[in-house]
Amino acid sequence: MSKALLLNNSPVEINTFDSLIGFRKPLYVSDKAHIDTASDAIGEWVKACIYIGKWAKSCYRKDNRRITIVVLPSREVATAFIALGALISSISSYKDGLSWTKFSTLDSGLEIYWKKVETGELFIGRVMGIEPIGSEPAIKLEITKSRKSRDVGTKILIPEGQFNKFQFSLEKPASVQKEVDINASIAFIDQLIGDISPSWAKSDGQDLLLVTKIKQFQSSIDCLLAAVGDEALQSIKFQSLLGFERLGDGKHSKLKISHSKGNLESTAELVILDGPSAFSIKEHISVRSDLLIAFDTLEFNENELAFVNELEVVAEPDDCKDDLFYGAKEKFPVGFEVSSYSFPR
């Protein structure tokens, strides 16, 4: 990352938040009707939020659980940028081709959705197991719903070699409008950090869960626009960039959102708990998920301190030191407090 990084065709100073996040072009965010590149470049606090989100997501380890706590002067919009950072980490580390491994181990009887990439034809069906076609393993599926009624009840075999001709999902595929949003979001992030896999956003599974007061969160980012590059030619609604859906609504999204009294059954590797009410349900989050908990300065009180003190006792030496950041002059902005602990799951 630090070798020949260019930001808008100029060399980037090594190990600034820009380089640590992997920005190739400047990011602009505005709460007005359009982006003004003279005044809307994101501030250091936004970069720090994106960085900490990216770092926390990238530190996921199978055997160890990580809990990161962030205390900020203001938290409401900050969690949106933290979530963006975590999504950037997911995109950067995404590798195609994992889905076969996952789908070939799904239980028989499970309902799944798939689409033929070439024609866009949609199907709903059930997994019937793995059967070999010659020496090649194939997934056997029974179609339960299709536009063509004659297909219903048909059993089909999809060998590993043909797998990429289909898009499989345990959740309903995105609607046409949603797909347009997803594509715009992918194009945006590709400009911002480059070298991303276009199939990431449509790949199966959740990467991130944000537990928050949904109405407040949505209204805090409702008016925000984002643009990339000095020309900032095309802006995108920040909400579309995050592309979140409610957890449990069956709609496909990499970022799920829920409230503290809502559905919390998530497979996401990182769960962001936004504020005290989300913090109060931390015990209901699966230990398979890492946590990033955000408070504002007045929300961090005795209870929260006691929790951090307990973490300090059980924490193991940390293996997730970001050497580039550690060696750099860059620091978090004043008032940006962060702590992180890792221990066996």
Rule CB under 8 A: is residue 335 a binding residue for another protein? yes
Which stretch of DSSP H or E encloses residue 51?
helix 44-58
Closer residue to another protein (CB): 231 or 318: 318
Strands of the sheet containing 235-237, edge to edge, are: 27-30, 225-228, 235-237
The greatest distance separating any two alpha carbons of the chain, rounded to the nearest whole angstrom, comes to 66
State in angstroms the smallest separation of the CB of 262 from another protein. 10
State in angstroms the smallest separation of the CB of 192 from another protein. 18
Rule CB under 8 A: is residue 18 a binding residue for another protein? no
- Tokens representing residue 141 in the block: 């599926």
Rule CB under 8 A: is residue 111 a binding residue for another protein? no
Rule CB under 8 A: is residue 287 a binding residue for another protein? yes
Residues that bind another protein (rule: CB under 8 A) add up to a total of 56
For residues 292 to 311, the per-residue mask of contacts with another protein, x marking binding by CB under 8 A and - elsewhere, is ----xxx-xxx-xx--xx--
Rounded Cα gap, residues 320 and 40, in angstroms: 32
Rule CB under 8 A: is residue 61 a binding residue for another protein? no
State in angstroms the smallest separation of the CB of 39 from another protein. 11
State in angstroms the smallest separation of the CB of 91 from another protein. 23
Rule CB under 8 A: is residue 69 a binding residue for another protein? yes
C-alpha Rg value of the chain to the nearest Å? 21
State in angstroms the smallest separation of the CB of 278 from another protein. 13
Closer residue to another protein (CB): 123 or 341: 341
CB 86 within 8 A of CB 208: yes
Binding residues for another protein restricted to 214-233, rule: CB under 8 A: 219-221, 223-224
Closer residue to another protein (CB): 33 or 176: 33
CB 257 within 8 A of CB 218: no
Binding residues for another protein restricted to 155-194, rule: CB under 8 A: none
For residues 237 to 266, the per-residue mask of contacts with another protein, x marking binding by CB under 8 A and - elsewhere, is ---------------------------xx-
Rule CB under 8 A: is residue 76 a binding residue for another protein? yes
Closer residue to another protein (CB): 98 or 223: 223
State in angstroms the smallest separation of the CB of 10 from another protein. 25
Rule CB under 8 A: is residue 7 a binding residue for another protein? no
State in angstroms the smallest separation of the CB of 148 from another protein. 36
- Tokens representing residue 302 in the block: 């005795």
In this structure, the strands spanning 136-146 and 155-159 are antiparallel
Rule CB under 8 A: is residue 331 a binding residue for another protein? yes
Rounded Cα gap, residues 48 and 294, in angstroms: 13
Q: Is 208 helix (H, G, I), strand (E, B) or coil?
A: strand
Rule CB under 8 A: is residue 100 a binding residue for another protein? no
Rule CB under 8 A: is residue 34 a binding residue for another protein? no
For residue 13, with 0-12 CB atoms within 10 Å meaning exposed, 13-18 middle and 19 or more buried, which class applies? middle
Rule CB under 8 A: is residue 333 a binding residue for another protein? yes
In this structure, the strands spanning 270-274 and 208-211 are parallel
The binding site for another protein (CB under 8 A) comprises: 29, 31, 43-46, 69, 71-74, 76-78, 219-221, 223-224, 264-265, 282-284, 287-288, 296-298, 300-302, 304-305, 308-309, 312, 315, 318, 320-321, 325-326, 330-341, 345
